[in-house]
Amino acid sequence: MISPELLESIALAINALTLNESVVAVLRSEYPGIHFTYCMEDDIGNHQPALEQPGFNLYLVDGREHCLCLTRNYEHASGIVIAEILEA
């Protein structure tokens, strides 16, 4: 489970770093047990982020079933997708 407060804390940690693929390694060491993935916002498709920040959105991942899926349910979340927003 990932709480809204934990997600806010992770967003603050990301804001303190330079957002790129190496952020995932830093977050994995600081938040063991949570799976992190990095991608571009346009890779996500038509989903609502759990948390929006300037420059990136955070999505929750549900890993209970055989296949991973995005969720808005904090109780079912076991991972986070960091989706970087590139300015056009």
Q: Name the amino acid, one letter, at 40.
A: M
Judge contact between 68 and 32, C-beta under 8 A. no
The model's confidence at residue 88, banded by pLDDT at 50, 70 and 90, is low
pLDDT digits (tens, 9 = 90+) for 11-28: 999 999 999 999 999 999
The reported pLDDT for the residue numbered 42 is 93
pLDDT digits (tens, 9 = 90+) for 36-82: 999 999 999 899 999 999 999 999 999 887 788 999 999 999 999 99
Which tops the pLDDT comparison, 10 or 69? Answer: 10
Q: How many CB atoms lie within 10 A of CB 86?
A: 9
